[in-house]
Amino acid sequence: MRIGIEGQRLFRREKHGMDIVAIELIKNLQIIDTINEYYIFVKDGDDDDWYTPSKRFHLVRTKKAAYHIWEQFILPREVIRYKIDILHCTSNTAPLWLNIPLVLTLHDIIYLENFHFISYQSTLYQLVGNFYRRFVVPSILKKAARIITVSNSEKDIILKRYPKLNHKLFVIYNSMSDSFLKIDKSKYPEIKELYKLPEEYIFALGNSNQKKNLPNVLKAYVIYHKSSPKPLPFILADEAPSDVFKLMGMHISKEIQKDIHFIGYVKNKDIPLIYAFSKMFIYASLRESFGIPILEGMAAGVPVITSNVSCMPEIAKDAAALVDPLNPEEIAAAINRILNNRLYSNQLIIKGKKRIEHFAWIISAAKVLEIYKVLYEEIKDRKTNLFMRKLESYFIRPKKTS
C-alpha cells in the first residue's frame, strides 16, 4: 500500500496545533509500520529537524506556493506522480478534484459556525484561510472515504451539522509529545535566560484569536493581582496583540501591566520546561476541538485551569480546575485556590499525571493505520467486484430473441 500524507506546513519554523498532530502521527507510524510505503508531501521550508528518515518513509519536498494553490494544484500532481493508493490530508481541507480514496483529519468546523470567531483580530492570512475552508470543506466531506476528528465533543458538533457523515466519521484522540514525559530540568537555567523568565510565574498561551479568550483571562489576572499582596507575574507564550490592554475594555495600571509578559513564539523543544517551572497553567478557551495544551500542562506536572465548555471537560475530566471562561472572577478564584491551597494543588497534579495515561500518540497512530488498512481492503474488493462484473458481461451475453 502506498500512502500519501499531506504535510504542507510541517517545515515552517512556527508550528501550531495541526502541524504537531501530523508530525506525531508520522513519527509513530514510522515505529509501528514496517510494511507499507509512505510519501510525505511538504512545502519546502527552514525547519526539518523533527524528521528522521527511515526505509519506507519518503519525503517529497515541493516548491513554495500559496496555501490553496499548493493544495489544489501542486499536491494532486505529486500524488499522481507517486501513484498513491490512499491520501491522508491532515489539516481540515484537501484537493477537490483528485480522484483517489481520501482520509481527512477534520480537527474542527469552527470556521463553518459563528463567523465572528474567525474575523475578530484576524490577520489577512487567517481570513483568507478561513474563507477558503468555508468554500472547500463541505465538498471534501462528501468525497472523503474516511473522516477522523479528535474528540467526541467535536464529533457531536460535526454530526449535528452533517448527520450523513455518521458512517465514516471516527474519533481518534490526540496526545502530548513524549518531550513532556521526560523533561530535563537541568536545562532550565538557559531557557529561563533565553525567555527572560522570573523566578515564579503563572503560565498561559495567549493570542488574538477570539476563541482563545485572552481578554477574559487577562481580566482574571487583574482581579487576582489586585487581591494578592505578592502577585506572581503572568507569562504568555505568543506575540502580544498591538492593542492587548484595549481589548479588555478596562483601565490597567502600569504596575499590573509590567507583570504581564508576552514572550513570543516558543520552540517546541523549549516549551516543556516553561510549563514545568510555572506555578500553574491556564487554558480557558471558549471553543476547542481537543486542547493538547491541557495534557501538556498535566504531563509537565503543574496544576491546570481550563474551561467547563466545549471539549475541555471531556479531555480534562476531574484532573483540572474547570471554570466558566466568560467569568473572570471564577478564573481568578481558581488561581487563588491553587496558589493558597497546597493540598488542592497537589491533588490536581496527581490527577493530571493519572489522566494523561489515557492518551498516547502510538495508540492514535495504530488506530489511523487500521483505518488505512480497512479502506485499502475495501478498495481492493471494489476493484475485484468491478472486474468480475465486466468479465460476466463479456462472457454471459443475453440471448437474442427471434
Of the candidates 178, 175, 185, 179, the residue with the CA atom closest to the CA atom of residue 276? 185
Q: Which residues contact 56 (CB under 8 A, 6 or more apart)?
A: 33, 34, 35, 36, 37, 38
Assigned CATH class of 179-358:
alpha beta
Residue 312 has pLDDT above 60, yes or no: yes
Give the pLDDT band of residue 120 (cuts 50, 70, 90). very low
Q: Over the chain, what is the mean pLDDT?
A: 90
Q: Is 55 exposed, middle or buried (0-12, 13-18, 19+ CB in 10 A)?
A: exposed
Q: Which helix (H) or strand (E) holds 88?
A: strand 86-89
Of the candidates 1, 209, 207, the residue with the CA atom closest to the CA atom of residue 108? 209
Identify which has the larger pLDDT, 127 or 72: 72
Residue 50 has pLDDT above 70, yes or no: yes
Query: 90 — phi, psi (to 5°)?
Result: -100, 0
* Positions of E strands within 273-381: 281-283, 304-307, 321-323
297 vs 58: CA distance, rounded Å: 33
* pTM assigned to the model: 0.90
Q: What is the mean pLDDT of residues 124-142?
A: 84
Q: Which residues contact 368 (CB under 8 A, 6 or more apart)?
A: 25, 29, 88, 103, 148, 172
Domains 2-175+360-389 and 179-358 share a fold: yes
Domain ranges of the chain: 2-175+360-389, 179-358
121 vs 241: CA distance, rounded Å: 8
Identify which has the larger pLDDT, 113 or 256: 256
Q: What is the mean pLDDT of residues 35-55?
A: 89
Residue type, 375: L
Identify which has the larger pLDDT, 46 or 88: 88
Q: Which CATH fold would you assign to the domain 2-175+360-389?
A: Rossmann fold (3.40.50)
Helices 17-32 & 361-395 angle (0-180, nearest 10) = 70
- The pLDDT assigned to 251 comes to 76
- The pLDDT assigned to 13 comes to 78
Q: What is the mean pLDDT of residues 78-85?
A: 97
Q: Are 270 and 195 in contact (CB under 8 A)?
A: yes
Radius of gyration, alpha carbons of the chain: 24
Give the pLDDT band of residue 386 (cuts 50, 70, 90). low
Distances (CA, A) of 173 to 25, 28, 360: 11, 14, 8
Residue 119 has pLDDT above 50, yes or no: no
Region of poorest pLDDT, from 271-275, 279-283, 380-384: 380-384
Pairing of strands 169-171, 86-89: unpaired
Q: What is the mean pLDDT of residues 303-331?
A: 98
Residue 126 has pLDDT above 70, yes or no: no
pLDDT digits (tens, 9 = 90+) for 82-98: 999 999 999 999 999 99
Q: How far apart are the first and last CA of the chain?
A: 51
Q: What is the mean pLDDT of residues 116-141?
A: 73
Distances (CA, A) of 396 to 375, 381, 382, 390, 391: 31, 22, 21, 10, 8
Query: 88 — phi, psi (to 5°)?
Result: -110, 110
Q: Which residues contact 250 (CB under 8 A, 6 or more apart)?
A: 219, 222
Residue 143 has pLDDT above 50, yes or no: yes
- The pLDDT assigned to 125 comes to 61
Q: What percent of the chain has pLDDT over 90?
A: 74
Q: What is the mean pLDDT of residues 354-371?
A: 98
Q: Is 137 exposed, middle or buried (0-12, 13-18, 19+ CB in 10 A)?
A: buried
328 vs 209: CA distance, rounded Å: 18
- The pLDDT assigned to 112 comes to 86
Q: What is the mean pLDDT of residues 247-275?
A: 88
pLDDT digits (tens, 9 = 90+) for 190-216: 999 999 999 999 999 977 788 899 999
Residue 339 has pLDDT above 80, yes or no: yes
Handedness of CA 8, 10, 16, 22 (dihedral sign): positive
133 vs 122: CA distance, rounded Å: 15
* Numbers of helices and strands, H then E, in the chain: 16, 13
